C-alpha cells in the first residue's frame, strides 16, 4: 500500500527526513511544503556570504526542488505555506503565493517548521524594520543593502551565535560594528569565565561590545537609527541586525491541538511522535530531552535536526529507531578564536540542583616545541563522585573542534574523566602533544577526584581578603610584572623548597601560577612539607584575569 507522507518545512530536518524515507521506501508519495523560496540551504553559512568568505550564493543551496525531484522523486512545493492542520480528517490546508488555497490529505504528517527570530515589542521597532538572519532571502537583503548603501556603521542586537558571526562578517566588510547584549556575557552556552576570553578578543578586534544593557527604544532619524539603551546610553547606526534568539514555530501545532511542552516547543516522544500518533515533529520546533540532565530543553541546532529527520523516516518505514536526546554540541568562529561547548554548563546544573565539580586547563594545541602552538582553554564539568562528564567548554584558535568532539563522544557513552585519560589519540608534533589536551583535562579532573589536589576557583579567590589568607604566586619574575592578584606573595616555584620558612602555617594558602601546572606542583610540595591548609587556583592566572578584570 502506498503511504502518503507530507512534510511541512524543507530545511535541514524536513529535507533529511524526505531523503532518508525515499531510500527506505521507493513507493511512498512524499511532498514537501516550504513557505520560503528555497529548501535545504546552509543557514549556518549565511553570515559568511555577507563578507564574501563564501563568494558564490549558490554554494548556500545544498539541494534544490529540481534536485529533490530528480534524485529522490520528492514533490517539493516552495512558496506554499501550510496554514492549518485537520488531524481528525488527516488533511492540511495550503496557501500558495498567488493566493490559491487547497487541501491535501496525508497518511503521515511531519512537522519541521523550524524557529523564528525573536522580535520583542520594543518601541520604534516597526519604524526601523531591523534585519534578521533566518534564510537566504534575509541574507540577500542584508548583503544587497551593504552593497548598494555602503553603511559605515552597524549595530547587532544579541551576542549569540548568529550575532557574533554577523558582527565578524560585517567587520570584515569594513563596517564599524557594535554588539549590544543584555546579559553579562556573549554566547549563552558558555559559562561566564569562558565567555570572558571572547570579550577580550572582541574588544581587541575593534568591535564595540556593550554588555548588561538592553535596547529601550529605536528611533528613525536623518542619520539612520538611534538606539536608546536601558542605561540611557545611545548608539547611532546606519543599520540594525536583530539577533536576540529564536523561538519554536508552534502556531500550526497549537491550533491543531497538539501538546506543547512547558518550554514552548512541540512535545514529542522518543520516536518523535506528537500527541497525535500520525503526526511527527522535529528540529528547532520541538522540545528535546537534554541528554545529560534528562530534562526538557530547546536546543536549535542543525546536527540534531538532521539526525531527527533520519529517525522519523526510520520509524515511518517500520524500523525500531529512537532519539535519545540532545547534548548541545556546538561551535562558533569568533574572529581568530573558536568557542565550543557540549553537555550541560554550570548555569544549567546550578538551576537544576545537580552536584558537579569543575576544572580548568590551558594546554597547547600542538607540541610546544613545534612552531605555531596556541593555547586551548578547557573547562571540564563532572560529577565528583562517579567522575561522569557532564559538560565541557573550549576556547582557542586551533584544534578546538577536534577536542570538543572527543569529549562529546565520551559524554554520549556516559563516560568519565578517567575515560579521557585512557583515550588513545593521534599524535605528531604538528597536531598535538603526546599527552593531548583532552588527556590533560582528564588527568587534572582525576587528581581532584582522587584527592591529589584541592582546588579553589577564580570567583572564590576574587572575594578573599589577602590579609586573612596567603595567596602565593609561584610564577617567574617576568610573568608577574604588571599582572598579579593584589596582595599576593611571590615565590617562584624553583625557589619554593628553600623559602618555605616565609610561608605562614596558621593561614590558608592559595597557590597560583600562569595556567595551573606549577600551582599543582607547588601544592604537592607544600602538602608534603606539613602545610595542611593549601588550595590550588584552578586554571591559574589565565582563568582568573579575564573573568575578574576583563
Q: Are 365 and 396 in contact (CB under 8 A)?
A: yes
Domains in the chain: ranges and CATH = 4-114+247-316 (3.50.50.60), 125-244 (3.50.50.60), 336-450 (3.50.50.60), 455-537 (3.40.250.10)
Active-site residue, from 44, 54, 263, 317: 44
Model confidence at 31: pLDDT above 80: yes
Model confidence at 482: pLDDT above 90: no
Lay out the sheet containing 224-229: strands in order across: 215-221, 224-229, 234-237
Model confidence at 1: pLDDT above 80: no
**What does the pLDDT read at residue 43?**
82
Question: d(Cα 199, Cα 212) in Å, to the nearest integer?
Answer: 13
Q: pLDDT tens digits for 275-291?
A: 999 999 999 999 999 99
Place of cell 555602503: 150
- Mention every residue, 6+ apart, whose C-beta is less than 8 A from residue 459: 193, 547
The yes-or-no answer on residue 513 being catalytic is: no
**What does the pLDDT read at residue 253?**
98
The vertex-515 CA angle with 452 and 200, nearest 5°, equals 140
**What does the pLDDT read at residue 223?**
93
Question: d(Cα 138, Cα 116) in Å, to the nearest integer?
Answer: 12
For the residues 337-347, what does the mean pLDDT come to? 98
549: enclosing H helix or E strand: helix 540-549
User: Average per-residue pLDDT in the chain?
Assistant: 96
Model confidence at 466: pLDDT above 90: no
**What does the pLDDT read at residue 161?**
94
For the residues 436-464, what does the mean pLDDT come to? 97
**What does the pLDDT read at residue 505?**
86
Model confidence at 448: pLDDT above 90: yes
**Count of Cβ atoms closer than 10 Å to residue 103 Cβ:** 11
Q: 75 to each of 64, 132, 347, how far by Cα in Å?
A: 11, 29, 45
Q: pLDDT tens digits for 319-333?
A: 999 999 999 999 999
Mark residue 173 as left, alpha or beta (left: phi above 0; alpha: psi -120 to 50; beta: remaining).
alpha
**What does the pLDDT read at residue 39?**
87
Question: d(Cα 351, Cα 147) in Å, to the nearest integer?
Answer: 45
**What does the pLDDT read at residue 62?**
84
For the residues 3-15, what does the mean pLDDT come to? 95
pTM of the predicted structure, to 2 decimals = 0.95
**What does the pLDDT read at residue 64?**
87
Amino acid at each position: 500500500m502506498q503511504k502518503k507522507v507530507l512534510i511541512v518545512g524543507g530545511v535541514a530536518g524536513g529535507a533529511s527526513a524526505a531523503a532518508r524515507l525515499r531510500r527506505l521506501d521507493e513507493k511512498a508519495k512524499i511532498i514537501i511544503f516550504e513557505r520560503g523560496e528555497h529548501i535545504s540551504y546552509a543557514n549556518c553559512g549565511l553570515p559568511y556570504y555577507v563578507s564574501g568568505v563564501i563568494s558564490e550564493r549558490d554554494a548556500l543551496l545544498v539541494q534544490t526542488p529540481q534536485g529533490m525531484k530528480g534524485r529522490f522523486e520528492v514533490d517539493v512545493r516552495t512558496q506554499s505555506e501550510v496554514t492549518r492542520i485537520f488531524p481528525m480528517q488527516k488533511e492540511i490546508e495550503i496557501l500558495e503565493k498567488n493566493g490559491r488555497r487547497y487541501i491535501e490529505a496525508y497518511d503521515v504528517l511531519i512537522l519541521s517548521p523550524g524557529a523564528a527570530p525573536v522580535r520583542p515589542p520594543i518601541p520604534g521597532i516597526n519604524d526601523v524594520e531591523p534585519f534578521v538572519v533566518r534564510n537566504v532571502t534575509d541574507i540577500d537583503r542584508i548583503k544587497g543593502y551593504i552593497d548598494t548603501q555602503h553603511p559605515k556603521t552597524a549595530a547587532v542586537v544579541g551576542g549569540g551565535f548568529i550575532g557574533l558571526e554577523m558582527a565578524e562578517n560585517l567587520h570584515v566588510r569594513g563596517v564599524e560594528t557594535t554588539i549590544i547584549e543584555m546579559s553579562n556575557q556573549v554566547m549563552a552556552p558558555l559559562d561566564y569565565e569562558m565567555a570572558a576570553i571572547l570579550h577580550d578578543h572582541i574588544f581587541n578586534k575593534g568591535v564595540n561590545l556593550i554588555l548588561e544593557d538592553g535596547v529601550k527604544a529605536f528611533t528613525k532619524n536623518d542619520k539612520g537609527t538611534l538606539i536608546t539603551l536601558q542605561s540611557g546610553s545611545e548608539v547611532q547606526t546606519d543599520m540594525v541586525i536583530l539577533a536576540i534568539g529564536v523561538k519554536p514555530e508552534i502556531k500550526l501545532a497549537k491550533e491543531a491541538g497538539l501538546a506543547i511542552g512547558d518550554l514552548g516547543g512541540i512535545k514529542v516522544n522518543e520516536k518523535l511522535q506528537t500527541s497525535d500518533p500520525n503526526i511527527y515533529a522535529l528540529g528547532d520546533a520541538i522540545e528535546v530531552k537534554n541528554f545529560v540532565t534528562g530534562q526538557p530543553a530547546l536546543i536549535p541546532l542543525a546536527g540534531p535536526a538532521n539526525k531527527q529527520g533520519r529517525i522519523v523516516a526510520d520509524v515511518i518505514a517500520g524500523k525500531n529507531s529512537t532519539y535519545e536526546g540532545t547534548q548541545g554540541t556546538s561551535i562558533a568562529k569568533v574572529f581568530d578564536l573558536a568557542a565550543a561547548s557540549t553537555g550541560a554548563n554550570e548555569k544549567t546544573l546550578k538551576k537544576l540542583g545537580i552536584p558537579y565539580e569543575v576544572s580548568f586547563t590551558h594546554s597547547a594545541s600542538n607540541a610546544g616545541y613545534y612552531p605555531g602552538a596556541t593555547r586551548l582553554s578547557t573547562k571540564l564539568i563532572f560529577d565528583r563522585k562517579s567522575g561522569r562528564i557532564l559538560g565541557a567548554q573550549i576556547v582557542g584558535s586551533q584544534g578546538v573542534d577536534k577536542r570538543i568532539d572527543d569529549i562529546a563522544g565520551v559524554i554520549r557513552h556516559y563516560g568519565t574523566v578517567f575515560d579521557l585519560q585512557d583515550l588513545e589519540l593521534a599524535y605528531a608534533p604538528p597536531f598535538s602533544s603526546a599527552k593531548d589536551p583532552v588527556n590533560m583535562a582528564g588527568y587534572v579532573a582525576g587528581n581532584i577526584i582522587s584527592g591529589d589536589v584541592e582546588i579553589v576557583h577564580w570567583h572564590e579567590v576574587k572575594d578573599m581578603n589577602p590579609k586573612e589568607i596567603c595567596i602565593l604566586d609561584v610564577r617567574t619574575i617576568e610573568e608577574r610584572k604588571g599582572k598579579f592578584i593584589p596582595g599576593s606573595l611571590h615565590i617562584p616555584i624553583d625557589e619554593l623548597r628553600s623559602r618555605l620558612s616565609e610561608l605562614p602555617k596558621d593561614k590558608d594558602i592559595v597557590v597560583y601560577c600562569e595556567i595551573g601546572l606549577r600551582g599543582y606542583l607547588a601544592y604537592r610540595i607544600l602538602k608534603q612539607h606539613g602545610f595542611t591548609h593549601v588550595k590550588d587556583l584552578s586554571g591559574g592566572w589565565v582563568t582568573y584575569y579575564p573573568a575578574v578584570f576583563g
